[in-house]
Amino acid sequence: MRWTQSLIPTLKETPADAEITSHKLLLRAGLIRKLTGGLYTFLPIGLRVLRKIERIVREEMDRAGALEVLMPALQPPEIWQQSGRYETAADVLYKVRDRARKEWVLGPTHEEVVTLLAAGEINSYRQMPKNFYQIQLKFRDEIRPRFGLMRAKEFIMKDAYSFDTTDAGAQVSYQRMYDAYTRIFQRCGLKAFPVEADTGVIGGKFSHEFMVPAETGENEVVYCEACGYAANIEKATSGIPKTAAREIGAAVEKFATPGVVTIEALSKAPYGVPANRQIKTLVFIADSKPLLVLIRGDDQLNENKLIAMTGAVQVRPADVKNPEDLAHFTSLGAMPGSLGAVVNVPAGWEVLADERLRGANEMTTGANEDGFHLRNVSIERDIKVTRWFDLRTVAAGEPCVKCAKSLKIRRAIEVGHVFKLGTKYSEKMNAYFLDEHGKSLPCVMGCYGIGVTRTLQAVIEQSNDKDGIVWPLAVAPYQVCITPLGVVPGSPIMALAEKLYAELTAAGIEVILDDRDERPGVKFKDADLVGFPFRLSIGEKSLAKGEVEIKPRSGAFFGVKIDEAVARLRELIAAGVSG
- Whether residue 343 has pLDDT greater than 90: yes
Mean pLDDT of 197-212: 69
At 79-101, the pLDDT tens digits run: 999 998 998 888 899 999 999 99
Beta bridge partners of 40: 34
541 contacts 508 by C-beta, under 8 angstroms: no
Using a pLDDT cut of 70, give the percent of the chain over it.
98
Question: For residue 198, what pLDDT is reported?
Answer: 66
Task: Provide the 3-class DSSP secondary structure of residue 226.
Answer: coil
Q: Residue 199 — very low, low, confident or very high, per pLDDT cuts 50/70/90?
A: low
Closest CA to 93 of 105, 83, 85, 101: 105
- Name residues whose C-beta falls within 8 Å of residue 562's C-beta, 6 or more positions apart in sequence: 496, 546, 547, 548
Q: Residue 218 — very low, low, confident or very high, per pLDDT cuts 50/70/90?
A: confident
Question: For residue 310, what pLDDT is reported?
Answer: 84
Closest CA to 392 of 239, 230, 262: 239
At 524-566, the pLDDT tens digits run: 999 999 999 999 999 999 898 999 999 999 889 999 999 999 9
How high does pLDDT run on average in the chain? 93
- Name residues whose C-beta falls within 8 Å of residue 178's C-beta, 6 or more positions apart in sequence: 194, 208, 418
Mean pLDDT of 441-467: 96
Question: For residue 362, what pLDDT is reported?
Answer: 92
First to last CA, the chain: 23
Q: Residue 577 — very low, low, confident or very high, per pLDDT cuts 50/70/90?
A: low
Using a pLDDT cut of 90, give the percent of the chain over it.
82
- Whether residue 250 has pLDDT greater than 90: no
* DSSP structure string for 468-480: EE---GGG-S-SE
6 contacts 512 by C-beta, under 8 angstroms: yes
- Whether residue 133 has pLDDT greater than 50: yes
Question: For residue 206, what pLDDT is reported?
Answer: 66
Mean pLDDT of 301-305: 92
- Whether residue 510 has pLDDT greater than 90: yes
Q: What is the spatial distance between Cα 137 and Cα 197, in angstroms, rounded to a whole number? A: 24
Respond yes or no on whether the N-terminal peptide bond of residue 77 is cis (omega within 30° of 0).
no
Q: What is the spatial distance between Cα 152 and Cα 480, in angstroms, rounded to a whole number? A: 31
Q: Residue 286 — very low, low, confident or very high, per pLDDT cuts 50/70/90?
A: very high
Mean pLDDT of 387-414: 93
Kindly list the structural domains of the chain, giving each domain's residue range(s) and its CATH number in brackets, ordered by start: 16-189+422-461 (3.30.930.10), 253-389 (3.90.960.10), 478-574 (3.40.50.800)
- Whether residue 131 has pLDDT greater than 90: yes
Range of weakest confidence among 167-181, 227-241, 377-391:
227-241
Task: Provide the 3-class DSSP secondary structure of residue 342.
Answer: coil
At 14-56, the pLDDT tens digits run: 888 888 999 999 999 999 999 999 999 999 999 999 999 999 9
Question: For residue 202, what pLDDT is reported?
Answer: 45
Could you give the C-alpha distances from 360 to 244, 377, 379, 381, in angstroms and in order? Answer: 7, 8, 6, 10
Question: For residue 403, what pLDDT is reported?
Answer: 93
